[in-house]
Chains A and B, each alone.
Chain A
């Protein structure tokens, strides 16, 4: 996109004077960006390098280039909803007289929040989704038995791939940035519009680049990384922006770690979180995805709002104290906090590697007297894998309850509601007032390792001290 406003012009001149090579590279065919008019721009005109997110959005909009702040309409690879948000979308869809979906293979409905249904009203809502999915022959409708927590299920099923543009009527839809997709949470009306048209409008975001270096210490995981970052930038530190994770440290993070980190981008206010695609991503994706996809890389001269360097090796087990995810402390500093309940699960931390570390810590031990621990494998596949690996036995021997997949306790729906003044350590993603139950209850967000260690001691515990 040619730049016309004054600030961009000033930036352009500044860039030219700083690095002529960078300036000239803007015209490189290798970057894959061609002028909109099909000709090389004149001197004084140039393209801004694009971030990874901007490149995906440009492709989705059928444009050669986009820049931050631009309003665009893009084609969608997938439209997602769950049993809470889909009924509102269906109501809007039907109220407005739509009588068909844009592509029945590109809509996913996952019944996970209050499912298996917690009460009659929830059952009615799920029934409404089921009937709609049946009427329009939706390919990817997941109900009890097949369903898992949506953001664990979709990557596992190969429904999201690099370069995809995904909207989901669930704020943690940003999870799929872990595999190099642009994915973001929207509301039910956007979902309805997406189902009808296969399109959505976006304001192109600017991005913060997180340059990851180093290697995680033992017992430190993606959860500690994202809590550490939110503690650093705040719950609105990335408001409206992309969080792009790059650098040599990316390869030190497992795909599960990346899914966890991208999942919580929304807790910093971000539009999306996205990781550079590497061999690990491709190995994960190629084992699951059965269709062509495109890998996008940020331009070398992409413009970022700021760059934040994160040394993975400097991060210790981190906990977010009530009532905001930005209230972070080292787990080791919270050993005076007595707990009543532990929840290990959710779209953030219900994957097999989460259960593995929890099982390693709980093996041969028993949870503290007076503490309840609930473990929720996020999908049936993860559940079965945990069962085969002996983790379910370990959890049950330790005194934990193990549940079928559900979002239930994370949002105070059911399956582990907190009473007045109770304290929970949860591997979930939000510790807002009343989120998991009574308004006076308190939630400490932590990794599965911290949660498992805390279940054993009855106080918040650094897993390295067990």
Chain B
């Protein structure tokens, strides 16, 4: 599994209220949520994001509410992977559970700039910055998490476990 795209970079403590403001949580429709992704800190995001792009954040990405609408909005907006220095734990769980790839990599978070083109090899955890011609090593997922991702999400993994 690989990803390659243009980076949209944000800072530390990107909270779920700015990822998807609560005023839009009166729907669970993925494309509706995507229309308002990041709008309270970056009104231009939804216009410039292309399918397959990468989001990069600082420390504690996804802090705040447990709303799964946050990773859903990011994924539905077209983002293939979020890289951050660290993730808030509920966001981390939710992203895995819905099949949004996320990687913890402090070096990549520090060195990647907004607009860089980045490619990611999820099997090795290697992030390659094509613009800067630099390579960063991300934390690979533990096997337990890999099983969930390979099953395409938590509920599928439960079904396959029950099937066995």
Q: Which residues of A are interface residues toward B (Cβ below 8 A)?
A: 71, 84-85, 87-88, 91-93, 95-98, 113-114, 118-119, 121-122, 125, 168-171, 173, 185-190, 192-193, 196-197, 201, 235-236, 239-240, 266, 269, 271, 324, 411-413, 430, 432-435, 439
Contacts and interface: CB of A to CB of B under 8 A. Distances in A.
Interface in B1-38: 13, 15, 17-18, 21-23, 25-28
B68 A189 contact: yes
A190 B67 CA distance: 11
Nearest to B71: A187
Among B27, B93, B153, the most chain A Cβ lie within 10 Å of the Cβ of B93
Interface string B57-87: 0011001111111011000000000000010
Contact of A271 (B21, B41, B89): B89
Contact of A187 (B18, B26, B86, B97): B97
Contacts of B72: 88
Interface residues of B, number: 40
A187 B66 contact: yes
B118 interface: no
B13 A96 contact: no
Given A85-B66, A186-B66, A91 B28 contact: yes
B108 to A, nearest CB: 18
A236 B90 CA distance: 13
Interface of B: 13, 15, 17-18, 21-23, 25-28, 40-41, 59-60, 63-69, 71-72, 86, 88-90, 93-94, 97-98, 142, 144, 153-156, 158-159
Given A196-B158, A439-B40, A430 B64 contact: yes
Contact of B18 (A168, A171, A433): A433
A197 B158 contact: yes
Given A171-B64, A433-B15, A433-B41, 8 more contacts: A113-B22, A125-B28, A170-B65, A189-B68, A192-B155, A269-B88, A430-B17, A432-B15
B28 A189 contact: no
Given A92-B155, A412-B22, A236 B60 contact: yes
Given A125-B26, A240-B89, A433-B17, A189 B64 contact: no
B26 A122 contact: yes
B40 A433 contact: yes
A240 B90 CA distance: 9
Contacts, number: 133
Nearest to B144: A71
A113 B89 CA distance: 22
B93 A186 contact: yes
Contacts of B68: 85, 88, 169, 187-189
A266 B15 CA distance: 12
A171 B98 contact: no
Contacts of A201: 144
Contacts of B69: 84, 88
Contacts of A71: 142, 144
B11 to A, nearest CB: 12
Contacts of A170: 65-66
Contact of A118 (B26, B27, B86, B154): B26
B93 A239 contact: no
A433 B63 CA distance: 13
A239 B60 CA distance: 8
B22 A186 contact: no
A236 B40 contact: no
B77 to A, nearest CB: 17
28 contacts: A84-B67, A85-B68, A87-B28, A88-B28, A96-B159, A114-B26, A119-B26, A125-B26, A125-B27, A125-B28, A169-B68, A171-B64, A186-B93, A187-B67, A187-B71, A187-B94, A189-B94, A189-B97, A189-B98, A189-B154, A235-B63, A240-B89, A324-B13, A411-B22, A412-B23, A430-B64, A433-B15, A434-B17
